[in-house]
Every structure is written in C-alpha cells, then in structure tokens.
Structure 1
C-alpha cells in the first residue's frame, strides 16, 4: 500500500507522515518544492512534485498510489482550483481519499472546504473527511514549553483567552 500525503511539509502533513511511518506504511510526500521535501524527510520517503494548478504533475505524483491524504493549500482560495486533481483521482483505482476539512463545514457553504467535499462526493471517490478546529493546529504549533523554566510560551493573542492558558 502506498499513501500520497499532500501538504507534507506543513504542520498537519508532517504529523501525518510521521504517524504513517510508525505504522509501516509506504509514504509518498507531495508538494510544489521537491527539494524542500527531500531536505525535510530525507530518504525515508519518496518525494514527488505536485502542483494542484499544474495537471502535468498529477500522473507522476499518483503513480501506484492506493490512498491519498488530501489538503487544500492555503494559497488556493477557490475550491475549483482543486477540481482538476480530484477529477484525476477519480480516474485512479484508489482505496481511500482522506480530505482534511473543517468542523461544521457541512452546514456552512462559505469555506472552500464545503464545495471541495461536495465535489469529491460527486466524483464518487471512496473518501472520508478528517475535521479539525479551525485554528487548533496553529495554536499547538505556536505554543511551546520553555525547557528551562517549564513555563508555557504562547503568542500574546492566545494569552488573552483563559481557555488557552497552559502552565
């Protein structure tokens, strides 16, 4: 089994890659900068170039892939920018597409994630969605524990909210 992880160099993607490796999966990391991926992951995984706005990158990126972890890159604000890649996935023999979405998006048609999910369903891809709290990963990646003092270090915007205070 080979799993393609899009957005592998980001916060969520990097975590997904590490967890799949722990499970012994054959992981293929995808992004627009193959050299950056090689620098980040070394020879532990195969790195491929994938640009959602360049259909000529799709075939090589999905070669011999069984499953896909799909994320919408933040710079693609329009859902339709993802449609050509989703169309390509629908032509493959995939076992599963996991789409990283947002909580409550099924009731909120404004985020592009809503339209992307509807399009994936329309293409009859075997898929599931993974949802997250909108800024949760930014919070956990921004807050660190100072090893010397054992105190939490959070950006000022999070310190104002009692919910996010950690000691």
Structure 2
C-alpha cells in the first residue's frame, strides 16, 4: 500500500522539486508560459478529455454535482469552524473549498486511477473553476436587485425628503 502511494506521488513531487531548484538557479519569467497554459493548453485538455475519452454526459453531470456538493460542503464546514474559533474567514474558507485539482490533481488522478480517470478529474477541475464565478454572479445579481430595490425606495422617499427639507427652511 505504501509503495503504491509512493509510486504515485514521488514522480509528481520529483518534478516539482526539479522545477523549484531550476527556478532558484535560473530565474525565469513565466508569464508567457502561464498565459499559454490558461488560454491554449487547459481548454485543449478539457476538450480532449470530455470528447475523446468520455463515456457519457450522465456520469459527468453526477460528477459535477458531487464535486459541487463536496466544495460547498467543505466551505460550510470551514465557515462553521472559522466562526467557532473566531478566525478570519478570508484566510481559511477559500483554501478549504478549492484544492489544486489542476496542476497537481490531474497527474495524481491519472497515476492513481489510470487514464480512465482523466475525464472525471477534468469535470472536477471545471466544476471547481466555475463555482467561484457562479457564486460571484449570483452575489452580484442579488446585490444589483437589492440595489434596485433600495433605489426604488430612495425614489419614493426622496421627494418626501425634499419636501421635508423645504418645510424645515421655512
């Protein structure tokens, strides 16, 4: 069992250590490599994994729902722990919810479960990357609707306030 775990994790952490020591010896600007990764390689990997290696959309939907439940459940548990221990939620809740399922998680999933695990690992990656954007959109929409409601209340209250100010001056 321990040998199997080491067979899976040693290559990944070996590459990380190699890159660390190379970066210490020869500092490089990785902005272009990061841009290529985000704009070209990650979408290509997602497209390839979900089209060429897929067995069906029903499994992907269940995996996405399961990933969302795990992420949101972890966030709720972290929120409860943060409140109970009086710590700063900005520091603890995000990392408890979102793990590194991309650069570290995909190779580990392939090494641990084989090539057949790649599509489900990609679904986890996509779900974890879309959840913050979705939560932000929901929050923005609720703030906009609350802002619209307060603007409507202000438009009703504003003329009365103006009348009050005029009568106060007289």
TM-score range, shorter chain: under 0.3
Higher strand share: 1
TM-score, normalised relative to structure 2: 0.22
TM-score, normalised relative to structure 1: 0.22
Q: Which has the higher contact order (CA 8 A, sep 6+)?
A: 2
